Amino acid sequence: MRLSGGRINKAQKGGYAGGATALGYNTKNKKLIIDEKQAEVIRMIFKMKRYKRMGLREIARELNEKGVPAARGGKWYAGTIKYILENPLYKGIAHYKENNVKNNDLALF
């Protein structure tokens, strides 16, 4: 209970509670910070979905055709695009277990 409370508190303050860092972010002094170069890819994905009304496979195909590397330098897949679009962190909501914490400093879109 104490550990969970500490991680929730850390998320409220924009802190990094462990695990892999999401695409579009880096960590510095155990705090999440926006990586503007990667964040532009995330914004591009959201714009393709919302304004161009592209499907998940179409978005992945376009990113691959443009030569945009995925998080680990590989190819884009529809499942990866879906994960990004559904990840609340990109809307500025840090998540730890069942607790959602709004932090506008982390919002990418």
Instruction: Please state the domain extents for the chain.
Output: 2-106
Judge whether residue 96 has pLDDT over 50. no
Confidence of residue 33 (pLDDT cuts 50, 70, 90): confident
CB atoms within 10 A of CB 99: 13
The structure tokens 């002094």 sit at 29
Longest dimension (CA), the chain: 47
Structure-token pair, residue 61:
């195909």
CA distance linking residue 74 with residue 72, whole number of Å: 6
Q: What is the CATH number of domain 2-106?
A: 3.90.1750.20
92: left (phi over 0), alpha (psi -120 to 50) or beta: left
Judge whether residue 86 has pLDDT over 90. no
What is this structure's pTM? Answer: 0.69
Query: What residues pair up with 96 in beta bridges, in sequence order?
Result: 99
Judge whether residue 52 has pLDDT over 60. yes
User: CA gyration radius for the chain?
Assistant: 15
pLDDT computed for residue 73 by the predictor: 86
